[in-house]
């Protein structure tokens, strides 16, 4: 494999769902021997208070392929929040990676040569384990697909630049540049 392909990374993003049970996922897919592999190993070896990266599994002792590092964007705010992170959100991420593999977004060869980093937001107010699972599964598969397709299109970014919005903020017409 050429160094260029080995050093390339695919970065994806997806926000699925509404309210407290929505999922926001950022993914990085890259070769184990490139910068993504270095970041993966460094993150795994460098946990911090409340942010302990771990390998996503489909079930105990069955990690998803490519090996996927689950990184929380928010420290667990309570025992219940922690269980939603380590239970349904983690299972959703693992299943979403497996979906991307099954759909050919990730090739069978990449399953053994690449790694995924999934940065995952679980709202401390989340309260529906099944919704957290499904939204994280869909968001992970979507983020990996977006990364593979280099989405969003630059034209879409330029078209939206004067009216950015997200589930937490929409600027008023007077605040827009």
Residues that are catalytic = 24
Contact 126, 132 (CB under 8 A): yes
Identify the residue whose tokens are 């099954």: 102
Contact 172, 36 (CB under 8 A): no
Alpha helices in the chain (DSSP H): 3-7, 35-44, 79-84, 90-102, 108-113, 129-148, 154-160
Crossing angle for the helix pair 90-102 and 129-148, to the nearest 10 degrees: 40
């Amino acid at each position: 494999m050429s160094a260029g392909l080995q050093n390339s990374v695919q970065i994806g993003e997806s926000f699925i769902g509404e309210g407290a049970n929505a999922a926001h996922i950022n993914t990085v897919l890259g070769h184990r021997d490139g910068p993504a592999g270095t970041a993966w190993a460094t993150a795994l070896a460098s946990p911090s208070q409340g942010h302990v990266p771990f390998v996503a599994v489909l079930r105990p002792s069955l990690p998803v392929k490519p090996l996927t590092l689950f990184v929380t964007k928010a420290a667990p705010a309570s025992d219940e929040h922690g269980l939603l992170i380590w239970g349904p959100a983690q299972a959703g991420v693992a299943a979403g990676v497996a979906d991307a593999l099954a759909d050919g977004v990730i090739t069978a060869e990449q399953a053994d040569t690449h790694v995924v980093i999934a940065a995952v937001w679980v709202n401390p107010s989340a309260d529906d384990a099944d919704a957290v699972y499904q939204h994280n599964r869909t968001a992970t598969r979507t983020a990996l697909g977006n990364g593979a397709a280099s989405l969003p299109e630059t034209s879409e970014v330029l078209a939206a630049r004067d009216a950015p919005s997200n589930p937490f903020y929409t600027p008023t017409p007077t605040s827009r540049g």
